[in-house]
Structure 1
Amino acid sequence: METEPTPDLTEQATALADMAFGIWVQILSFLEGLMRPWSAYQLAIILAIGVTSHVIAKILAPRLHGWMRTREGWPKWRLRWLLVIHKRLRGIMFVTLIWLVLMVMREITWGSRSYLIGIVANLALAWLIVTFATRLIGNPFVRTIVRYGAWAWITLRILGLTDQTVEVLDAAAFEMGSFRLSLWVVVQGAFILSVFFMAARFVSHQTAVRVQANEDISPSMRVLVVKFLQVVLYGAAFFIGLRAVGFDLTGLAVLSGAIGVGLGFGLQKVVSNLVSGIIILLDKSIKPGDVITVGETFGWINSLGARYVSITTRDGREYLIPNEDLITTQVVNWSHSNDFVRLDIYFGTAYGDNPHEVRKLAIAAAASVDRVLEFRPPVCHIVGFGDSSVDYILRFWIKDPTGGLTNIRGNVYLALWDAFAENGISIPFPQREVKMIEGSQLGTKALD
């Protein structure tokens, strides 16, 4: 048994068909106008302008590119805009020439004989302005949405089809009770949200630059302020954008609460890392530039993220340590309160060497190394009497742990080696004696 369509859907489909037919009639009328003699002349003029602008751009592009190469001292943002102009040189030439031709034709002939050229000139200028304006948007996806949306809207506006297009898009709607979602609302929402996100990104970027340049704020607090501002700005852009298109946020609040409960159970680790990251930023236990050791990983902090901390080691590897691990495990921060680090090395000398002389030579050798601090002089102590050597410990201070620890220890060992070699101090090593017992087979063979 077939069911007849509901009256609402039938009326909606009829209204949509009528509006689409009206737009089609206007398009046919516009195409019919192109068949008039003066319209053909205007199309020929537009084509000639396009060819001329292409030739001029081909001539000027290599010269502009060569001139750009000589601007080495210019700021990057200026060179970036020059590159954009270089890529859009054909469009710039076309807009310049067509507006010159349009002004001349309006002076020497009737307005109707330059009507089509005026439409193309306005379209070309508007598209060029949109192209340059959207270069300010850093996100490629958002930039594409805003650019093509602005191009489509400006084209419809210049052609006088905005009202009909809005009616068609608004008629294509989905209704459920009091809730109504039309295609026009979706288009509006995508465009407005893109604009708001672009503004939020620009404000957050400018604020981040100013905060990072403020030396009065600690590095960890700078990161916290920047992250907080980004969350606030992007959240405000999202909700204000939805409100601007008439979206009811009451249902969204209830839905977000239900989703939040589910995510709280499913994303415990992620939430734990986020909270741990906020705690790290607030208690200032680590900050970018600190030298830390986590487990067997030794390196300096490159950046603090919302979920992890980036640590770069001496061999160039970059480790992403979850924030939760920095809260729950032992972390050695070599530069937490200051950059001073004390290092210890152990060595031994023969029993025949004067220990007083050995201590003086060891202290002088350590002090001769570049990175060893002079105002915190090295010290050397005897720590025991071994089987074949007198054992010592040599302690010294450095203030640049980012320069590495293994290399400074190696340099001090080399200085000790040179000092002991010059003063006849020997470094013993285990020795073994083998005795042949008389009457044994080995002893007899040895005598033979």
Structure 2
Amino acid sequence: METLRDVLAQIREFLEVPILKLGGSPVTLWTIIQLVVLVAVLFYLSGKLRTWIVEQFLTRTRMEVGARQATGSIIRYTIIAFGFIIILQTAGIDLTALNVLAGAVGIGVGFGLQNIVNNFVCGIIILFERPIKVGDRIVVGNVEGDVVHIGGRSTTVVTNDNITIIVPNSKFITEDVVNWSHNDRKVRFKIPVSVAYGSDVQMVERLLMAVAADNPDVLEKPAPGVRLMEFGDNGLNFELRVWSTTLIHRRGLLTSTINYAIYKTFADNGIEIPFPRRDVRIVGDERPGGNRANDMVN
């Protein structure tokens, strides 16, 4: 028993050996261990608190998922900031002695960590201004997908191919961002349709409206619309305009489904879909005694 006490006493003496001084406060191995353990506990507990706030407490309110995520993240960052200051004071570190260290860190941030700090600040701006939020359908640069997580440094976007793309937060502040569901998830789709000259335009309009009405993903309000856009080289160019909230993340599927229905409906009702045609005139030899041929080839 005495041997164990002697070993513990030696370990304690070893851990209490000063390594350096910050101001008038010595920093020992025991102090460093305390800092590491307390900071780890702080991050763990703040993460658990954020999860509880987002998934349990705020679910009782009418807040959207993105708003709950943003609120939870802001609360977590605030707790970490105040908790870190309290931990330093608890460990006996004189905060006034950190001014020099803060200056050195500032120089390092200005050179080597500027991108990280830039992305972190942009993440804070995103959480407060909420130009994007979790669940939004966004396009930034060449990336298109659903926002599934907004972190301090980056935002996670999942594409239709189930590929996860990590986008730095600064891109959402410095670049143009297309947010398909910023106000609400109601989006209008424009589907071009061509018919041959001589077609009954009133019948074309009725058939297109019927196709839109039969599609379960097309909203009744706002109502679909048909527009005759132009007289094209090969036919009349119409545009079917429909609204949807269910397939904004799969726009190709909605367009394909409607196009299939349009093709079948036109075929059943004798509406011709034009194809490019060119008239070629071949002029033969016009020399004296020569033959001249004028042929029209479609």
Range of TM-score over shorter length: 0.7 to 0.9
Distance, in Å, in 1 between the alignment partners of 2:151 and 2:43 is 20
Give the match for residue 253 of structure 1.
99
1:202 and 2:45 equivalent?
yes
Letter in 1 for 2:52: V
1:417 and 2:263 equivalent?
yes
Once the two structures are superposed, what CA deviation does each residue of 1:107-151 show, in whole Å capped at 9, x if it has no partner?
xxxxxxxxxxxxxxxxxxxxxxxxxxxxxxxxxxxxxxxxxxxxx
The alpha-carbon deviation at position 294 of structure 1 amounts to 1.6
Distance, in Å, in 1 between the alignment partners of 2:16 and 2:206 is 94
1:306 and 2:160 equivalent?
no
Report the TM-score when normalising by structure 2. 0.82
User: Given the superposition, is the C-alpha separation of residues 208 and 424 from structure 1 closer, same or farther in structure 2, using an over 3 Å criterion?
Assistant: same
Greater radius of gyration (CA):
1
The alpha-carbon deviation at position 201 of structure 1 amounts to 1.8
Letter in 2 for 1:274: F
User: Given the superposition, is the C-alpha separation of residues 308 and 423 from structure 1 closer, same or farther in structure 2, using an over 3 Å criterion?
Assistant: same
The alpha-carbon deviation at position 179 of structure 1 amounts to 5.7
Kept in 1, the 8 Å contact 2:19–2:29? The answer is no
The alpha-carbon deviation at position 199 of structure 1 amounts to 5.2
Give the match for residue 9 of structure 2.
164
Kept in 2, the 8 Å contact 1:367–1:374? The answer is yes
Letter in 2 for 1:399: T
Match of 1:295 among 137, 141, 151: 141
Letter in 2 for 1:339: R
The alpha-carbon deviation at position 438 of structure 1 amounts to 5.5
Distance, in Å, in 2 between the alignment partners of 1:363 and 1:191 is 71
User: Given the superposition, is the C-alpha separation of residues 244 and 315 from structure 1 closer, same or farther in structure 2, using an over 3 Å criterion?
Assistant: same
Kept in 1, the 8 Å contact 2:197–2:235? The answer is yes
User: Given the superposition, is the C-alpha separation of residues 196 and 301 from structure 1 closer, same or farther in structure 2, using an over 3 Å criterion?
Assistant: closer
The 5 A counterparts of 1:19-418 are 27=3, 159-161=4-6, 164-165=9-10, 168-169=13-14, 172-174=17-19, 181=26, 185-191=28-34, 193-195=36-38, 197-198=40-41, 201-213=44-56, 214-215=58-59, 216=61, 217-418=63-264
Distance, in Å, in 2 between the alignment partners of 1:164 and 1:280 is 52
User: Given the superposition, is the C-alpha separation of residues 254 and 283 from structure 1 closer, same or farther in structure 2, using an over 3 Å criterion?
Assistant: same
Kept in 2, the 8 Å contact 1:220–1:288? The answer is yes
| Higher relative contact order, structure no. (Cα contacts within 8 Å, ≥ 6 residues apart) | 2
SS at match of 2:170: helix
The alpha-carbon deviation at position 369 of structure 1 amounts to 1.7
- Could you say what the CA RMSD is over the residues aligned between the two structures, in angstroms? 3.1
Letter in 1 for 2:93: F
The alpha-carbon deviation at position 426 of structure 1 amounts to 0.5
Kept in 2, the 8 Å contact 1:366–1:415? The answer is no
Q: Which runs of 5+ in 2 are unaligned?
A: 294-298
Distance, in Å, in 2 between the alignment partners of 1:179 and 1:254 is 14
The runs of at least 4 consecutive aligned structure 1 residues that moved more than 6 Å come to 175-178, 440-443
Distance, in Å, in 2 between the alignment partners of 1:374 and 1:177 is 70
The alpha-carbon deviation at position 198 of structure 1 amounts to 1.8
Percent identity of equivalent pairs? 30
Kept in 2, the 8 Å contact 1:193–1:238? The answer is no
User: Given the superposition, is the C-alpha separation of residues 233 and 289 from structure 1 closer, same or farther in structure 2, using an over 3 Å criterion?
Assistant: same
Matched positions, count = 286
User: Given the superposition, is the C-alpha separation of residues 366 and 402 from structure 1 closer, same or farther in structure 2, using an over 3 Å criterion?
Assistant: closer
User: Given the superposition, is the C-alpha separation of residues 372 and 169 from structure 1 closer, same or farther in structure 2, using an over 3 Å criterion?
Assistant: same
Distance, in Å, in 1 between the alignment partners of 2:248 and 2:204 is 31
Once the two structures are superposed, what CA deviation does each residue of 1:299-351 show, in whole Å capped at 9, x if it has no partner?
11111111222211111222222222212222111111111100001121111
The alpha-carbon deviation at position 432 of structure 1 amounts to 3.0
Distance, in Å, in 2 between the alignment partners of 1:171 and 1:327 is 48
Kept in 1, the 8 Å contact 2:212–2:224? The answer is yes
Q: Which runs of 5+ in 1 are unaligned?
A: 1-22, 28-158, 444-448
The alpha-carbon deviation at position 382 of structure 1 amounts to 0.9
Report the TM-score when normalising by structure 1. 0.57
SS at match of 1:342: strand
SS at match of 2:44: helix
The alpha-carbon deviation at position 380 of structure 1 amounts to 0.9
SS at match of 1:210: helix
Kept in 2, the 8 Å contact 1:220–1:287? The answer is yes
User: Given the superposition, is the C-alpha separation of residues 229 and 193 from structure 1 closer, same or farther in structure 2, using an over 3 Å criterion?
Assistant: farther
